[in-house]
Structures are given as structure tokens and as C-alpha cells.
Structure 1
Amino acid sequence: MSTRVVVIGAGIGGLTSAALLAARGAQVIICEKEAWVGGKARRVAVDGAEIDGGPTVFTLREVFDEVFAACGAQLDDHITAAPAEIVARHAWDAQGHLDLYADPLRSEDAIGAFAGADAARGYRNFRLEAQRIFNVLEQPFLRGDKASTPFPMMRQIGLTRIGDMLAMRPFDRLWDALGEHFADPRLRQLFGRYATYCGSSPYQAPATLMLIAHVEARGVWLIDGGIHALAKAIAGLAEKQGVVIRTGTPVAEVMVKGGKASGVRLASGEMIPCDVVIMNGDPNALAELRLGRQASYAVPTVPPAKRSLSALVTYAHAATEGFPLTHHNVFFSPDYAREFAEIAGGRPPSDPSVYLCAIDRPAREADNATLPKGQRERIQIIVNAPANGDNHPYPPEEIEQCTKAMRNSLARCGLIMEEAAPHIVMSPHSWEGLFPSTGGALYGRASHGWAASFQRQGPKTKLPGLYCTGGATHPAAGVPMAALSGLLAAKVIARDLASTKRFLPAAIPGGMSTRSATTEPTA
């Protein structure tokens, strides 16, 4: 009899683990409470336009190539993607902007023209340091088993490579380390922003997070249809392996029998027995009894103080003028320290930095002609905010105040957005509604301090048969990291089942060999 698996949630991690396990013969059902697949990688309808509702940056595409290959398929047959020439455009005022490019030499030249020769040399050294950190951590940490302390990872790196261990800089703060490379505070701010990719403050995050800059430097891709199209492609891949995806199907309880997970009870009352349950959502929902008392002890609670950033996200169909937008744009606050101090104090920033994704704009210089005056385009705007959505309602007047602050930040840099444009705003309170027990935190646990990365929930829980995956688990937040968590969960589950002779030995990308989905039947 094939192993029966129920996945709670159809986010990137859950879809990935489901596809890989089904390709090995498991009978897999995904129960998703919402009407869509992809979790945060959704689309939002505004004024008849479909706007990317979640992550917009696609990196480390080789991870997804591995997932599709393990299922006997090719990623390029399921999505249409093109590399971005301009990684992002950055502005601090209306006097100009700085572009970073896929070509690091072009970025170096641009930084030199923007801030001088010393800044260009600083960028070159920073880029090399970020690359070294990534190379040291890719196999033992990003693709490795979750450990509660750094010592297993250090053993895997090798005790003779003490230089590499020190190069990770876990005890240095990112903001301080950036000061070694960049005297210009604007550049320090630009590269400090990478901490927010995992929902953290550059003033509290370890310098290890410099590796994110290298991840982006390896290539940023634009997908037709956005990241949601990628999620749909993985869902289609999973279904071809025999996975059953049930949307609009909330799970009320993880059932336990004989000291192990034995199935799920749906909100409708239907029971689905199984051998393995995978929680593809914030693990804190388990700890806070959202899925029943019997499973609540399986993971530790994440205290509110340990939560990552939330966000005020505006989806707009709007005309703009005055600033030459590209696909990814960042408009920086004049006082970064105050911005994060206000967030730490539980308040949205009064003068925020703003990320703006101009969805209809390609990330190529040759194609960035100004749109006709008055023509509306699809826009997603993100402002960092505290994850207090479970105890703060964000009434309309506060949303309006935050929107005004966002517009002021854009205007300071020369971008004017249509006042009467149709739009929707998601607050931390809105995110808490979609992702309960998070307070609206969009990245799981914040990466503050050297030990934070080891405190993220791994695939195994204290309850046998119950596993976790997704962007709130190991190794980190973000689209490729969520997929890596799915890879790891599938690998650990296969290993655990093989040890009880319930699964044949196999290979899952990152360590084990799988049977070919094209030559052997699936469940």
C-alpha cells in the first residue's frame, strides 16, 4: 500500500514536497483553505487588472529546474521567463537614480559614477565577500538538514576550514559590516535592504545575510504571469504525478493516534486518514491550537517579539509620471534608522522606504519607454510594517495616513501616482486574516542575532508523522527558499519512511535518488 500524505496548504513549499513525494509513489492530497494555489504567490484583481499579490522577485531558478527534472519534466515547458537586465532601480531624491544590473561590471561602473571610485572598489569587495558566504553555506545550510545549533553545520564544512567559518560573520551586524565596504550612507542603505528580504532589520540581522546579494547577482528572472504562474506550474506538475489538490478546503485539526499524526479533520467534518501530514503554513499556527490541541506541542511558539516584518501592501491600477520606472524600484527613506526604530516600536514608519513593482514594465533599458500620459499600469507597492495585526486593527484612517506617507516618499523621489486610482491596501491585520497566528509577519521568525537561523522550524516536528515546510521554516523566507524547504521535507520524509521500510530508497534533489516519473507509474 502506498504511503498516504496530506499537505495542509498549497504554497510553494507544500506544492514542491507534494510533487516530489508523489513522483516516488505516495498518494498525496493537498488541502488549501483559499480558492487559489500558491499561498502568498497569488494575484489580486483591481479595476479588472490582475496584479501580482505576493513575491515578485524570482531567483535561484536552478532549484526549480531540479524539482521539475525530479518529476521527469522541464521548467521551461511550463513557464515563460526571461532574465532581467536591470535588477532594480534605486532613488533617494529627485536628483537621479542608481541601477544595479545583472552584469556585475555594469553595476560596478554605475556605482562608481554615482558615488566615486572608492565606492566601486567597495562594491567589488562586497560582492566577493557575499559570494564567499553563499558558497560556504549553500550545501551545509541552505540545502542541508535543519540543526538546532551551528555545530553539525560546522562539522560538515570541516573543522580545518576555520577561515570559511569565520567568513560567515554570524556575530557581526549587517549594518556594521556594510560600513567596512561603503562610506556613502546611501549604498550602505541600499545593501542593508537585503535584510528585509527575510523580514529583518539591517541593524539587528547578522552580516551573514550579505549572501542574499549574491543570490540576486546570480540572476533575477521575470515570469509571464508573475510568481503565481510559477506556483500554478508546480501545481500542474504535482497533479501530473497524481496529487489531488482541493482548494476551498480548510483543515480544522491534525488527528493523532498512537502518538503520531494519523490524518486531518476538515472544517466540513470530513476525515482524511493518512500516514504523513505536512504543514505548509506558519508553524506558529500549530503551536497556537489552530489545528487542534493534540498537535499543538509539536512545535515551539514564536513570541511576538521574534516575528519578522509585516507590510502595508498597495495593489493599484494607476497612471504615474515624473520618474522613469523599471520593473523593480526602491525609493529610500532619508532616515533609515528612524524607520526601523518606529517599526520596532509597533508603528508603521512615518517616512518609509517604498518598494514598487511596475508589473507591466520590463527590466531592460531598451524597453523602458515612458508610457503615454494618463495610461494606467499594474503596480504593487510594499512598505515595511510591524507584525502586530493580531492586536491592532489598522482602521481606515490609519490606512489613509500610511498611504499618504507612502505617496510622500514617492513624490520626494519625483514619482507622482494618480490620486483617484483604483486600489486595494493589505495591512498587517489583513495578513493575519490570511495567515493566522502570524500577526501579519510575512517571513516567519526574524533573522535577528547569530542564533536566529537555527531557531527556525525544520521539517521534523516533535510529533511523529507531522512535518513542516514553507517560507516560515528552514532555511529561510522567499520563493526559492520555500522550494528548498519542500525539497528538504520530501527528503526527510523519504528517509524516515525508508527507515521503517515503508518507502523504497530513492533520490530527491539534494541528496537522494528518485525513480523516474516518466518510466514508472505514480499512485
Structure 2
Amino acid sequence: MNETPHIAIIGAGLGGLSAALRLAHAGARVTVLEAQPGPGGKMRTLPSALGPVDAGPTVLTLRGVFDQLFADVGLLLEDHVTLTREPLLARHFWRDCSMLDLTGAMQADADAIGAFAGAQAAREFRAFHAETRALFAAFDAPMMQAAKPRLGRIALNALTTPAIWRALGPRTTLARRLAAQFADPRLRQLFGRYATYVGGVPGAAPAVLSLIWQAEAAGVWRVQGGMHRLAQAMARLAGDRGAQLSYNSRVTEIADNGRRITLESGAQMDVDATLFNGDPQALARGLLGWTPRHALPRSATRRRSLSAHVWAFAATANRNDLVHHNVFFGDDPAAEFGPILRNRMPDDPTLYVCKQDDGEHARFEIVMNAAPTTRHPPEPTEAALCQTLIFDNLARHGLTFTPMPEVTALTTPSAFAALHPGSDGSLYGRSPHGLLAAFQRPTARTRMKRLYLAGGGAHPGAGVPMATLSGQHAAAAIMRDLGLT
């Protein structure tokens, strides 16, 4: 091109920031427009007595995605954020007082599972580990790393890898596959959690999601100072390379095939391309104007993934056996997921507790899975019911907090719906339910010639590394289409 192209990025989540950093490094003129006061998107914080406490993602896996991002722009990740590998992936608690630590080291985990549930369970875990390793190898390059799912390559990998055939049946859900793999219901419950990592329930999500075990086993990392420090570093570095980041700047319309955007203030901006880093359903609902309503097929957005009730606060816990990542299981998954599928709070939830500091007095994030919602504002009783349900459940596990958090520390599905327009409070975009759900997510290119997508609602899907990869794919598509070298 004769002139430097101008690209507008709507949203400063990890997908938008990843693309902004790459595009600015390539010499494009980049303007990032974020409706919130700072970067991060769902990687957000709330204030507490001990400082900002993470109220979004807390788990960093697939570190290589971030090493590659920083290397591609001539930087070293460790020069800008401090990462510490967690010795434990998570500590798991049940009400019968049983407890299981997993480390990601296959032999150590097999030994721990053997001590926890017997020699048969250890053998079952070794078989599970081998199957998920084969699944990850079959799907990584043609699915997660590719800008668009390479169906032919995936089919070839499946045909030539007999070890994964049982996980790929059209009616094989994650729950069914785990029931065939583990006799102990606690282990089925533990590994069934991977459906919730992408906003699904084990009884409806495909069995292939068990490959998430391999992403965790490769290492779980803690970001010193909180996960939001990663987003802040990416935003700062994009700015260092010339990107203009404008916060408290809400976009109301995308027009002219992605070449003109209008802000809430009434100001307009002519650009060469627009990258939307928000929930793709916002486009389909006309929240960004009439023109982008048909930029995506209906199948790309119409089924919603799960939401959550999230507490973020500082307190002192009465137990001294908490690690960074803790999971407190309910007695019966049906009592959790059955009500959620009927748009109700779970009767007996599994609760994730992140202890973000090592001291006695610490910052905590607690997450309870929930159905998405169209209600805004929430029902007046929602916060009180949620508080009672969660903290009474933890008390049954012997875990209490002093002081108890105020309701201002709670983010409900309704609040997520307000924070992320068009999402219905869904935290993961399109539902992962169904064997082909992953192939129906929108990719970086849309039907509008100069409108692109990035974020957890786009391919390759939800999660911190996947959203970051989506920004890589979007930046590559923009550079190719605009001839930016």
C-alpha cells in the first residue's frame, strides 16, 4: 500500500491486545477503543483492602503462546511479566474429607491417584493420559494453531490415530467417555470440569475436550501481581510501538464494510479495517449498527455458553491448606448442572477458589458456574441467594472467611451481561455443546470485507491462550488483506 493503513480495534481484551501489538510492530497505524477504563476485557480486577484482586481468569496455561507473541515483536516475555510455575495444578477437596493434588507429572499423578483411589484408578489414569496426549497431538496444529480449522487434516489425524477413536463418536460426550474410563466417580467429576473451562457441561460437551488435561499438565503459571498484569504489559508494549489506546471510548456503529466507526460521543473515524474484540453476538443483535448484523452466520453465535457468579475480595481463611488453585466439589454433578441447564442456580455447586497471595490474609476469587441470562439489572434477591449458597457450601467443607465479603465483591451473570454487551453474560461465547460446535465458531474474517474478529468468542475459542491466538490469526488476516508487510 502507498499509505500506512489505519486499523481500529474495538475492545482491549487479550485478543485485541495481541493483534494491536503485532499490527503496530508491523508498522500499521493502530487505534484501540475500549469502553472500560483500562485494558484486559474479562481479565479484570476489583478493589480490595490488599489491592486489586483478579475477578476474571486466574489460570495461565500454554505459556508458549505468550513466549511466541513476545518473540514475534522482538521481546522476551520474562522481561515484562514475572511468571512462576505452580508446583500443583490444583488441590481438590470432597466433603468426605478426601483430597487429591495433581502436578502434571504423569508418574507422580498416577501414584497420587493410586493412593487416593487404588491401583485400578492409577491404571485408568495412565490410559486417560495416553489418550488425551494423542488427542492433543491430533488437534493442536490443525485446530488450535490454524487460522481456520483444517478439517481434512483433522480427519486424517483421526483416521490414522486409533487411540482417539473412542473419544470422537458423534454421541460421545465428555461425561460418557469419562464414565467408561474411570470407575471412581470422584475422578469422573474432576476431569469433567474441563467442559466448564469453555462454558459447557460434561453431559453435553464433546469428549475431545478431555485434551485440556494436556494443556494443564504442560504447566500452570502464576503471573506476579495478578493476571491483569499480563494485559497491562501487552497494552503498554503496543503503545510503545505506536498504537493509540483510548479508554472510556464506546463504539456504537460499524459501517461501510468496516471502514467507518462511530463513537458514543458522536465522533466518527474512517479506517482501512476494523477488528472487533467483543462478543460476536453483539454484531448479530445490531448493537454495532444495522450493517454488521449479517456479518456472521446465525450458527456462529446463537447457542450461549455458561456464565458464572464471581466473588473477588480480601479476607483471612480459617484453613491453612489452601494452595493457589483449589476446587471444592459438590456431592453430585447432576445437582449442579441440572439446575443450570434449567436457568437456575445450582443446588449443590462445585466451587473454585483461587488464593492469590501466600500470606494468612489474602485476596481470593471464588467462581460458581451459572447459566447465562438476559436479565439486567439482576433480580434483587440474586446476590443474597448466591452469597448464602456459596459460603454455606464452603462451610460444609470446613472453609470460612473473616470478614465475609460484601455484595459489592460479587459479579453476577447479569453484571457480566452489562459489562459485555450482546453476551447474555456468557463468558465463553458460543456454547461448546455438540461434536461440531468448535467448527461453528466464527473465524477472523467475517462477511464484511474489512471487518475482522478476535477474542474468546472467535476461533480457536475461549481461554487466555486461545483468545491470544485469535488475535494472532486476526492480525495475520489483516496484514495479508491490506498488503501490510
CA drift of 1:397 comes to 2.1
Q: Which residue number corresponds to residue 431 of structure 1?
A: 416
Task: Say which SS state the counterpart of residue 68 (structure 1) adopts.
Answer: helix
Task: Say which SS state the counterpart of residue 427 (structure 2) adopts.
Answer: coil
Q: How does 1:304-453 map to 2 (within 5 A)?
A: 306-322=303-319, 324-361=321-358, 371=360, 376-388=361-373, 390-391=374-375, 393-418=377-402, 420-422=404-406, 424-453=409-438
More displaced, 4-13 or 322-331? 322-331
Amino acid at match of 1:14: G
- Residues 300, 441 of structure 2: 8 Å contact kept: no
Task: Say which SS state the counterpart of residue 5 (structure 1) adopts.
Answer: strand
Task: Name the CA distance, whole Å, in 1 between partners of 2:158 and 2:137.
Answer: 16
Q: How does 1:147-166 map to 2 (within 5 A)?
A: 147=149, 151-154=151-154, 157=156, 161=160, 163=162, 166=165
Q: How does 1:79-118 map to 2 (within 5 A)?
A: 79-93=81-95, 95-118=97-120
Q: Which residue number corresponds to residue 512 of structure 1?
A: none
* Structure 1 position 276 matched with structure 2 position 268: no
Q: Which residue number corresponds to residue 197 of structure 2?
A: 197
More displaced, 241-250 or 300-309? 300-309
Task: Say which SS state the counterpart of residue 59 (structure 2) adopts.
Answer: coil
Amino acid at match of 2:389: A
Q: Which residue number corresponds to residue 80 of structure 2?
A: 78
- Measured against aligned partners, the alpha-carbon deviations of 1:284-320 in whole angstroms (never above 9, x if no partner) come to 0011111111111112346997110000111122221
Q: TM-score, normalised by structure 1?
A: 0.88
Task: Name the CA distance, whole Å, in 1 between partners of 2:275 and 2:49.
Answer: 37
- Residues 71, 237 of structure 1: 8 Å contact kept: no
Q: Which residue number corresponds to residue 239 of structure 2?
A: 239
CA drift of 1:242 comes to 1.2
Task: Say which SS state the counterpart of residue 89 (structure 2) adopts.
Answer: strand
More displaced, 424-433 or 170-179? 170-179
User: Identity rate of aligned residues, in percent?
Assistant: 41
Amino acid at match of 1:495: R
More displaced, 172-181 or 197-206? 172-181
Q: Which residue number corresponds to residue 458 of structure 1?
A: 443
- Residues 299, 440 of structure 2: 8 Å contact kept: no
More displaced, 315-324 or 132-141? 315-324
Task: Name the CA distance, whole Å, in 1 between partners of 2:448 and 2:300.
Answer: 21
Aligned CA-pair RMSD: 1.9
- Rate the CA distance shift 1:94–1:104 in 2: closer, same or farther, 3 A: same
- Rate the CA distance shift 1:162–1:85 in 2: closer, same or farther, 3 A: closer
More displaced, 260-269 or 25-34? 260-269
Task: Say which SS state the counterpart of residue 101 (structure 2) adopts.
Answer: strand
Task: Say which SS state the counterpart of residue 175 (structure 2) adopts.
Answer: helix
Q: Which residue number corresponds to residue 517 of structure 1?
A: none
Amino acid at match of 1:29: T
Task: Name the CA distance, whole Å, in 2 between partners of 1:434 and 1:167.
Answer: 40
CA drift of 1:50 comes to 1.3
Task: Name the CA distance, whole Å, in 1 between partners of 2:117 and 2:162.
Answer: 31
* Structure 1 position 297 matched with structure 2 position 294: yes
Q: TM-score, normalised by structure 2?
A: 0.95
Task: Say which SS state the counterpart of residue 110 (structure 2) adopts.
Answer: helix
CA drift of 1:165 comes to 7.1
- Residues 173, 206 of structure 1: 8 Å contact kept: yes
Task: Name the CA distance, whole Å, in 2 between partners of 1:119 and 1:410.
Answer: 27
Number of equivalences: 481
Task: Say which SS state the counterpart of residue 145 (structure 1) adopts.
Answer: coil
Q: Which residue number corresponds to residue 144 of structure 1?
A: 146
CA drift of 1:40 comes to 0.8
- Residues 131, 163 of structure 2: 8 Å contact kept: no
Which ranges in structure 1 are unaligned for 5 or more consecutive residues?
Answer: 362-369, 505-523
Q: Which residue number corresponds to residue 254 of structure 1?
A: 254
CA drift of 1:170 comes to 5.3
- Residues 132, 167 of structure 1: 8 Å contact kept: no
Task: Name the CA distance, whole Å, in 2 between partners of 1:233 and 1:398.
Answer: 36
Task: Name the CA distance, whole Å, in 2 between partners of 1:28 and 1:102.
Answer: 40
Q: Which residue number corresponds to residue 52 of structure 1?
A: 54
- Rate the CA distance shift 1:301–1:378 in 2: closer, same or farther, 3 A: same
- Rate the CA distance shift 1:160–1:208 in 2: closer, same or farther, 3 A: closer
